[in-house]
């Protein structure tokens, strides 16, 4: 069955994924002589940088997600379909999706990345990833459920094992999550559960490198570690999570930590859709693209954002998996698609490094702009400003500012509902193949 898209004589650009890259590309194609079809398995765009605030009860999911139809209301020659793309047939220029087949003239893969558990079955079963709104809600429920369950135990040691947390991965996501959980523990859980020994609750942050935030400078790494340590977080460097049976985390250095919860931010891989040649896939399960974002071996198939492996002399491992990378590639590709269709020469993509930042609880952040590094309160204000600017939709910006203000001044978190079934198995979140089951 064909996906029902209104007939058009214009060439059709099909974009898979309404993340940062896909949304930007579709916007940049406005007014160009193409029919645009945007596909996503969800009907919304997720602002992933604030996902950890949903996971730690600071924001409701609606504040960080925007319905795709709201973003493109009234845009001509634009079609959105909520569908999962299952297979690509590059010979026929067609896609198989969950709602039927679809022809494309140009295909753009902007499917992002997913948690990589390195095929460790134990981790797939027990560790909780944070890549989607559903994941964040499961994390939030887990954090709150832990305290509810601990109340049922009479032994203090068992109570602590129930509430202790291990976070694998000391990159920006792990660091931000650790800071936010420490704050949740101190300002909310301690008040809500005075019977529990929460001042002894352990938060372990485990990083395989010799410093946190390896993608940032040493000054930021050092400061981040200092901030976290002051918040009572135990940082383990040069250590990997080796195994986890749901009760005890074993590290590569032999250390063991009893914890009912392991959050996984230690690896990502590109989301691949079957059908393209294996030669088009490179390191980190990403599509190998040239400087025009064309996927290796195909003239009319492109990949952008976390889905793409684009190597430059300054970036031998590929461009960083950041929102600005996806946005810039989306903008650039729109111009190149016009050139390609008009048989004009394509322009090689040029990446502009806009800097990196990570927030660590209240009033503290580390920020690296191309010309300036700063840490502490000023960095925290900068972090807030940049995230508000990037957040899609006025309603989301307004609701986020309001929530931040209330949380800041009231030392509270409003979004404390446990939304999954009590005793739901951990694996009811997502599997490594991306298949998710209802929570
Ligand atoms: C928790 C977290 C925090 C982050 N913090 C920051 C930060 O502070 N700053 C920063 O710059 N970057 C940050 N990042 C990274 C940044 O969010 C990503 O680099 C960016 O989202 C990549 O954009 P994208 O368009 O490539 O993919 P995504 O934004 O991941 O979007 C991919 C889309 O594709 C859809 N999709 C996937 N497979 C299919 C399919 N088969 N069929 C249909 N649809 C599909 C998904 O539903 C999704 O909507 C963070 C990431 C995470 C997970």
Q: What is the mean pLDDT of residues 57-72?
A: 93
Report, in angstroms and rounded to the nearest whole number, the Rg of the chain calculated over CA atoms.
22
Q: What is the pLDDT of residues 2-15, one digit of tens each?
A: 999 998 999 999 99
For ligand 1, atom 6: residue with the closest CA: 49
Q: Do domains 12-41+83-115+269-341 and 122-266+362-410 have the same CATH topology?
A: yes
pLDDT of residue 7: 87
Neighbours of 89 (CB within 10 A): 13
436 confidence band (pLDDT: 50, 70, 90): very low
Q: What is the pLDDT of residues 393-427, one digit of tens each?
A: 778 888 888 888 888 888 778 788 887 655 554 44
For ligand 1, atom 8: residue with the closest CA: 49
Please indicate whether residue 354, judged by its CB atom, sits closer than 6 Å to ligand 1: no
Please indicate whether residue 16, judged by its CB atom, sits closer than 6 Å to ligand 1: yes
Please indicate whether residue 318, judged by its CB atom, sits closer than 6 Å to ligand 1: no
Class of domain 12-41+83-115+269-341: alpha beta
Give the nearest ligand 1 atom to 22 CA.
25
438 confidence band (pLDDT: 50, 70, 90): very low
92 confidence band (pLDDT: 50, 70, 90): very high
Give the nearest ligand 1 atom to 268 CA.
53
Nearest-CA neighbor of 237 among 171, 317, 160, 165? 171
Q: How far is the CA of 113 from the centre of ligand 1 (A)?
A: 6
DSSP one-letter string for 152-194: T---HHHHHHHH-EEEE--SHHHHHHHHHHHHHIIIIIHHH-T
Please indicate whether residue 330, judged by its CB atom, sits closer than 6 Å to ligand 1: no
Q: How far is the CA of 424 from the centre of ligand 1 (A)?
A: 26
Give the nearest ligand 1 atom to 112 CA.
27
pLDDT of residue 395: 81
Please indicate whether residue 306, judged by its CB atom, sits closer than 6 Å to ligand 1: yes
Report the residue among 38, 43, 48 best suited for mutation to probe ligand 1: largest number of ligand atoms under 8 A from its CB.
48
- Mean pLDDT, the chain, rounded, equals 92
Please indicate whether residue 20, judged by its CB atom, sits closer than 6 Å to ligand 1: yes
Q: What is the pLDDT of residues 225-266, one digit of tens each?
A: 999 999 999 999 999 999 999 999 999 999 999 999 999 999
Give the nearest ligand 1 atom to 130 CA.
1
Place of tokens 């959105």: 80
Q: How far is the CA of 21 from the centre of ligand 1 (A)?
A: 8
Q: Is the pLDDT of residue 332 over 60?
A: yes
Break the chain into its structural domains and give their ranges. Answer: 12-41+83-115+269-341, 122-266+362-410
For ligand 1, atom 19: residue with the closest CA: 322
Q: How far is the CA of 317 from the centre of ligand 1 (A)?
A: 19
Q: How far is the CA of 423 from the centre of ligand 1 (A)?
A: 29
Q: What is the pLDDT of residues 204-236, one digit of tens each?
A: 999 999 999 999 999 999 999 999 999 999 999
Please indicate whether residue 271, judged by its CB atom, sits closer than 6 Å to ligand 1: yes
What does the alpha-carbon distance between residue 318 and residue 31 come to, in Å, rounded to a whole number? 32
Q: Is the pLDDT of residue 437 over 50?
A: no
CA end-to-end distance (rounded Å), the chain: 31
Q: How far is the CA of 48 from the centre of ligand 1 (A)?
A: 6
Q: How far is the CA of 156 from the centre of ligand 1 (A)?
A: 40
Structure tokens at 395: 């309603």
Beta strands in 275-424 (DSSP E): 281-282, 286-288, 301-303, 308-309, 356-359, 365-369, 372-376
For ligand 1, atom 12: residue with the closest CA: 322
Give the nearest ligand 1 atom to 51 CA.
1
Give the nearest ligand 1 atom to 23 CA.
25
- DSSP letter at 125 equals H
Q: Is the pLDDT of residue 337 over 90?
A: yes
Report the residue among 112, 330, 359 best suited for mutation to probe ligand 1: largest number of ligand atoms under 8 A from its CB.
112
**Stretch among 277-281, 313-317, 417-421 having the lowest mean pLDDT:** 417-421
For ligand 1, atom 35: residue with the closest CA: 17
pLDDT of residue 394: 78
Q: How far is the CA of 172 from the centre of ligand 1 (A)?
A: 14
Q: How far is the CA of 158 from the centre of ligand 1 (A)?
A: 37
What does the alpha-carbon distance between residue 36 and residue 47 come to, in Å, rounded to a whole number? 22
Neighbours of 64 (CB within 10 A): 26
- The topology under which CATH files domain 122-266+362-410 is FAD/NAD(P)-binding domain (3.50.50)
Place of tokens 């605030």: 53
Q: Is the pLDDT of residue 431 over 50?
A: no
- DSSP letter at 432 equals T
């Amino acid at each position: 069955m064909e996906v029902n898209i209104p007939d058009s004589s214009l060439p059709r650009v099909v974009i898979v994924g309404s993340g940062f890259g896909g949304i930007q590309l579709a916007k940049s194609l406005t007014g160009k002589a193409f029919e645009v079809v945007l596909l996503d398995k969800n009907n919304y765009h997720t602002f992933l940088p604030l996902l950890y605030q949903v996971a730690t009860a600071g924001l409701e999911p609606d504040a960080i997600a925007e319905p795709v139809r709201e973003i493109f209301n009234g845009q001509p020659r634009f079609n959105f379909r909520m569908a999962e793309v299952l297979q690509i047939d590059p010979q026929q220029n067609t896609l198989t999706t969950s709602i039927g087949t679809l022809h494309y003239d140009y295909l753009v893969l902007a499917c992002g990345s997913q948690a990589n558990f390195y095929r460790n079955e134990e981790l797939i079963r027990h560790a909780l990833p944070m890549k989607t709104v559903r994941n964040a809600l499961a994390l939030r429920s887990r954090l709150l459920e832990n305290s509810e369950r601990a109340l049922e135990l009479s032994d203090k040691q068992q109570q602590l094992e129930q509430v202790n947390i291990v976070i694998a991965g000391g990159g920006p996501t792990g660091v931000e999550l650790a800071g936010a959980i420490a704050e949740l523990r101190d300002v909310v859980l301690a008040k809500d559960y005075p019977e529990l020994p929460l001042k002894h609750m352990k938060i372990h942050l485990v990083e395989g490198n010799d410093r946190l935030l390896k993608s940032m400078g040493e000054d930021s790494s050092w400061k981040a570690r200092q901030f976290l340590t002051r918040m009572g977080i135990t940082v383990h460097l040069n250590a990997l999570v080796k195994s986890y049976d749901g009760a005890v985390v074993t590290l590569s250095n032999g250390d063991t930590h009893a914890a009912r919860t392991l959050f996984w931010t230690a690896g990502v891989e590109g989301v691949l859709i079957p059908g393209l040649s294996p030669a088009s896939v490179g390191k980190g399960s990403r599509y190998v693209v040239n400087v025009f974002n064309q996927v290796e071996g195909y003239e009319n198939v492109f990949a952008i954002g976390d889905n793409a492996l684009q190597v430059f002399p300054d970036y031998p491992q590929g461009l960083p998996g950041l929102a600005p990378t996806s946005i810039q590639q989306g903008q650039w590709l729109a111009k190149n698609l016009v050139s390609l269709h008009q048989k004009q020469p394509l322009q090689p993509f040029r990446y502009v490094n806009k800097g990196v930042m990570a927030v660590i609880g209240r009033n503290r952040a580390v920020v690296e702009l191309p010309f300036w590094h700063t840490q502490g309160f000023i960095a925290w204000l900068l972090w807030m400003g940049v995230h508000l600017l990037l957040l899609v939709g006025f309603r989301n910006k307004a609701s986020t500012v309001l929530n931040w203000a209330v949380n800041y001044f009231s030392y509270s978190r409003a979004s404390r509902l446990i939304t999954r079934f009590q005793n739901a198995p951990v694996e009811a979140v997502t599997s490594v193949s991306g298949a998710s089951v209802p929570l």
